[in-house]
Structure 1
Amino acid sequence: MNDTTSRLSGPVRVVGTGLLGASVGLALRARGVDVLLADASPAHLSLAADYGAGRADDGSAEPALIVVAVPPDLVGTVVRAELAAHPDAVVTDVASVKVAPLAELEAAGVDLSRYVGSHPLAGRERGGPSAGRADLFLGRPWVVCARPENDRSSVSLVEALILDLGATPIEMQTAEHDAAVALVSHTPQIVSSLMAKRLAGSTDAALALAGQGVRDVTRIAGSEPELWVQILGANAPAVVDILRAYRDDLDRMLIALGDIDVAGSRRTIAEELAGGNLGVSRLPGKHGQDKRYASIVVMVDDEPGELARLLTELGEIAVNLEDLRLEHSPGAQVGLAEIAVLPEVLQRTIDDLTARGWRIAG
C-alpha cells in the first residue's frame, strides 16, 4: 500500500468539525476518502468544507464509519443518535474521556456492538475548523477501547482509520485509559494553568526574564477553559487522586523551604527533585524508545535561513536529529537551538559544527 492509498473502502461521516474533526477530514481527503461532514454549527460546517475537510453530508451516501468529534458532554447523546440513524455503520469517538460516555450509553440500553470508543493523543492550543491539520495525528498514539461485544471487524475498521491518519493504535480498557490520561494529560493541564496564573499579576520587568523553563511549564495553559471544564468534570475522580498526591509533594517542599536550616530540610528538597529526575527518565523518547539523548546548545543568529542552514549541515555531517527545542529571548539577536543526539555522536557533532563556524553554548 502506498502513502496515498486508504485502508477504508466506504464514506466516512465526521460529526463535529472542530480541531479534531477537521483534522480527521483533512487527512482522509488527502487519501481520497469521501468525507461527509456534519456539525450543529452551519458556520463551522461551511468553514471546514472550505478548508477541504470534506463535504456537507446531504444524506445521499451511507457511511461505513462514523467519527464523533463533539465536546465530551455531548458524546453519549451523539453516539446514540448516530447508531440509530446509521444501522450498518461502525461508530467511534475521539473524546479524551471514555468511562462516562460509555456508562451513559449503557444506562440508556443502547446496543453497543458497533460502537468502539477511541482517543487520539494529539491536539493544539488552538481550536476550531481553521486550526485543523492533516498531519495532526502523525506518529501519535491513538487509544482504542475495544470491548468483548465488539466484532473484530468493527475494531479493525477503527484501526484502519487510525493507520490511515498516520497514528499508532494502542488497545486499552476504558478505565485504564481514563486513569492514564488523568496522569499524562488532564493533571498537567491544571498544573500548567495554575502556574501560568501566577504570571498574570507579575511585573513586565520580571516577565522580561522569562526563559524556556517557564515557557515549557506553561505552554498548554492557553487551552480553552470551557472544553477543559467538561474534560476534567468527566474524569474528576482520577484527577483528584493525582492532585492529592501532588499536594502532598508540595506540602513536603513547603515545610522544607519554610525552615531550610532544620535538619533534613535540604535532603527533603533533594529527594523531591530527584524524584522528578526519575519520573522524567521514564518518558519514552523518539519512536517510543526509552533511550536517553545528549544535548548540544547551538547559538543561531536571528537572521533568515540560519536555522535551516543548521539543520542542513547536521544532515551533511550525517548526524540524526533526535529532538529540537528553540529558545529566543525578546530583543536578543541570537537564538538557542538545543539539539538532541545519540551520546555516541555527541563529541563528533560538537567538533564538526565548531569547525563549520557554529558557536556552542556552555
Structure 2
Amino acid sequence: MTRKVVVAGVGMVPFRKPGASETYDLMGAEAARLALADAGVAYGAIQQAYACFIYGDSTAGQRALYHVGMTRLPIINVNNNCSTGSTGLYLARQAIEAGALDVALVVGFEQMNPGALGTYFNDRPLPSDLFIKQCDRLGVPTDIPPALRIFGGAGMEHMKRFGTPLSSFAKIRAKASRHAANNPLAVFRKVVSAEDVLADQVMWPGVMTRLMACPPTCGAAAAVLCSEDYARRHGLDTRVWIAAQALTTDGPESLEGDDLRDVAGFGMAKDAARQVYETAGIGAEDVNVVELHDCFAHNELITYEALGLCPEGGAEKFIDDGDNTYGGRFVVNPSGGLLSKGHPIGATGLAQCTELVQQLRGAAGERQVEGARVALQHNVGIGGACVVTMYRN
C-alpha cells in the first residue's frame, strides 16, 4: 500500500424486518448523513461515492444520494452479491491509496422482501446455477432452497470430515443472540439458548434448523474513507485505518473439487486471509475482534478455520472453549452478526465496518471488546467474491 487510508467516519440505521423500514433511498441517505457527520466532512467535499446494493434498479445509488446533495460527483453503483458493501470499500480504498482521490463515501442499502432470496432474471443463465450443479454432483438434497443447499452443504461437509455435531452450529447462533442483545441497531435482540435453536423448525434434518439461518432484512450503512494526509490537513479522526485488504474470486476447486465447503467460499476466504496477513505483516493470533459473514451458522463455523482463528477441524473445540466470544481468544461478531443483527445485503459489509471502527475507537458501549487494536472483517458472496479487510488503531 502506498498511502495510508483512514476510516474517518461511519454510520448505520437500525435494521428492520421487511415491510417495517423506510424505502431504500431514505435509509441510504440517512446512513450517508450519519457517516458524514461522524467524520466531520461536508458532502460537497466528497470526491467520489460508491453505492452498494443488489435488489434495485440501475442508478439507485443516485436516487439515495440525491437526497443528500446534487454536487455532480461521480457515483458508482456496485453489485457483487453478498460481498457488495465490502467491494465498495475495496474500490474506494484502492482509489485513495493510488492517489486518484483524497476522500470518498461508500454507502450500502437494501430493501428486501420476506422469505427466501429470489431471482428476477429467469430468462437467462443464473450465476448461482454453476454452484447448484456442484451441489447436485456432490449429493446435496434437491428439495431445499438454493442458499440452504450451499451453506448447509458446507456445514454437512464439516460434520462428515471432522465429526462436528449439530450442537456446534446451535451454540454459534446462541452466541450471536447474546451479542445482539447489547446492540440497539440489531433486528433480533432476543437471547436464545443452544437448546432453543435445536428445538426450532427443522429446515434440513440433521443439518439445519430455522434459527441457524439469517433473516432477510432492510437497512443501510455507510463509511467515509480518506487519505491520512487529507485527514490530518482537515483535523479528522485518524485513529482507524485499513492495514490490508484483499478481494478474491473462486478457484477451480469451487466447481470441480469434492469439498462442499469450497462451494460456499472456504477457499476464497482462506486465500484472501492469507493475502491480508502477508500484507499487514501480522497474523490471526494478533487479531482481537472479528466481524465475519455468518449468513448461516454453518458459514461462521467454516470461516473460523478459513481465517486461521483455529486449526482446520478445530472449530468444535474452539466453540466449546469459548474462544469466539468475550473472555476467549477472539470476539466474533460482537454486533450479533448477520444471524441476529440482520443481513440487508448491500449494507452488510458497511455494517461490519461500522461495528469494527466503533470497537477500535473504544466506542462500542456494552459490546466493547477490551483492548481492541486489530480487527478483521470477512464478507463473502456466492458467484463469487470474498473480501477480507484488516483494520488497526
TM bracket, shorter-chain basis: under 0.3
TM-score, normalised via structure 2 length: 0.26
Larger Rg: 1
TM-score, normalised via structure 1 length: 0.28
Higher helix share: 1
| Larger RCO of the pair (alpha carbons < 8 Å, separation 6+) | 2
